[in-house]
Chain A
Amino acid sequence: MGYLRRWAARQFTTRVIVLMPVGIAINIVLGSTVQQALKLPIYLDSIGTILVGVLAGPLAGALTGILANLIWGYLLPAPIGTSTIGPFAITAGVIGLLAGFWGRLGLFRPRRAGGASIVAAAIAAILVGALALYTYARAYASPDVFASITGFGATDFDRSRIFFLVIMVLYVALVGTALYLRRDVGAVFAIGAGLVTGIVAAVVSAPIASIVFGGVTGSGTDALVAAFRSGGDSLYQATLKQGLLSDPLDKMITSFVVFFILGSLSRRFVARFPNGEKALGHEVETGTAEAAKG
């Protein structure tokens, strides 16, 4: 028990305590102001959560996500405050938790590389995507087996393969863009982590959305839910499918933004966080000018 408490105390240093409100504010501001400015079908409200998770660890990331949702939903007045955000605090907590683990595993580490490695990484991403798609398509012997294992209708099997293809294409497209913008192979891992996070987030959000809000969130995605339901899906299935279409895209984009930002922060700043060393990798800085600066 004492070990747990000490571990928790190490996670929540003063620096982490100062970082968390910043993460919360980033979530809320990007998720409202910037989201409104761009009008894209993504939420963009997890950048702070993932950033804190990668820098400060799973606990801090989870708490940042949960508190951001609660504050956004219940402590801020309209028009910024939105009462529908609150119950999704659970999802936000899971996102932060995952981000902490990705950070520990070094998935957000910069891996600068030359031209050949970039091309190799792009090809690898395409191959992995294709392989995953092929495996998925072959994983279930028949549509009926698919139905019995996953609980979806047998007719969904074809649709789910198409959906998988779409996700993989999106993944490869984003990786390609990322590699083009920053010659950094680490983008492959970061966006991959975002993909997994997005899928998990969709699975966690579906029951919340269906139970609390009857599957409706007031955004454009409701039309998708309606479409799925008119096709005969249950409420839960419809919200899950809608989530699986929008969450992975949102989390992949978010993870790339976090990856980009991490790569642009000074090493000294990042290294002082509990997860910072793992987020950076163990390369020793040799520059003296930056070190001598007060």
Chain B
Amino acid sequence: MAIELSAVRYRYAGASKAALGSVDLRVEPGRVLGIVGPNESGKSTLCLVAGGLAPRVIGGRLEGSVRIDGADTAAMRSHELAQRCGLLFQNAAAQLSGTTGTVFEEVAFGPCNLGLAVADVIERVWWALRTVGVEDLAPRHPARLSGGQAQLVALASVLALRPQYLILDEPTSELDPAGTALVADALARVARETGAGILLVEHKTDVLARIADEVVVLAEGSVALQGTAAAVLADPRLAELGVEPPARVRLEREVRASGLEWPAALAEAIE
């Protein structure tokens, strides 16, 4: 049971160079897999490929296989894919349907599209809102939410389809620190309470340090580093790969470099 990318190569339509070159990845239920890398390393492409949108919705050429729980994504219809694997992008406002007047109806958009019975729709909406922690936003108009709130509502809308996996492409990049913390906490709660497997592309390594179980570093379309979050984020090669290590790691290095000790209690206190 996992999302499995095997020997995946992907080239955008009309491009001469592959955006992803032979990537192997697994996203397991209940685990958060973080993806970091410099710009143009293929992180967003990876999200589109893993989520089945490439090449289906955007064209291009895919080699290798992408399987969700053993089933090939290329063989699934897009609404079947939506129920297995939820996708979230950077711009929260662009993900709202723009046709609903309340957050409740916005989150209900997905289940209604599936044609579920009204009672099921209602149940799913409240469940999704509660899991993400935004029940009190239900009566609000979706266009009048802050960036962080909108992103949480988008998360709830996708969750309402009860996918086993979630793929998020830099969901906090347009948010301020408060919004970032909101989203990060919500994601951790989702992984814990629903057992969903989460693939999280993030620039902000602090977020990954907080909620990721494993981290993959992507560079020029291929996997450069892979391992547990703690190990990878403390790896000295991060900087030369173009990734800024989390604040805690940087602080630890500075402290040790000036000859002082780095007590474990301090490390825990910073977390």
Binding site for B on A (CB under 8 A): 14-15, 21, 267-268, 271-272, 284-294
Contacts and interface: CB of A to CB of B under 8 A. Distances in A.
B44 A291 contact: no
Contacts of B169: 294
User: Interface on chain B toward A: helix, strand, loop, or mixed SS?
Assistant: loop
Interface string B46-70: 0110000000011100000000000
A271 B58 CA distance: 9
B97 to A, nearest CB: 10
Contact of A272 (B44, B45, B48, B58): B58
A288 B59 CA distance: 16
B13 interface: yes
B17 A271 contact: no
Nearest to A267: B14
Contact of A292 (B40, B57, B98): B40
A293 B44 contact: yes
A290 B59 CA distance: 15
Contacts of B42: 292, 294
Contact of A294 (B14, B17, B47): B47
Interface residues of B, number: 21
A271 B16 contact: no
9 contacts: A271-B59, A288-B16, A291-B11, A291-B19, A292-B45, A293-B44, A294-B19, A294-B44, A294-B169
B12 interface: yes
Given A272-B58, A294-B19, 5 more contacts: A272-B59, A288-B15, A293-B44, A294-B42, A294-B45
Contacts of A271: 13-14, 59
Nearest to A14: B57
A289 B17 CA distance: 9
A293 to B, nearest CB: 6
A294 B12 CA distance: 10
Contacts of B15: 285, 287-288, 290-292
Nearest to A289: B40
Nearest to B19: A292
Contact of A291 (B16, B47, B57): B16
B162 interface: no
Contacts of B16: 285-286, 288, 291
Please name the 7 residue pairs, one residue from A and one from B, whose CB atoms are nearest each other, closest first.
Answer: A294-B44, A291-B15, A285-B14, A288-B17, A291-B12, A292-B40, A292-B19
Contacts of A288: 15-17
A291 B14 contact: yes
A288 B15 CA distance: 6
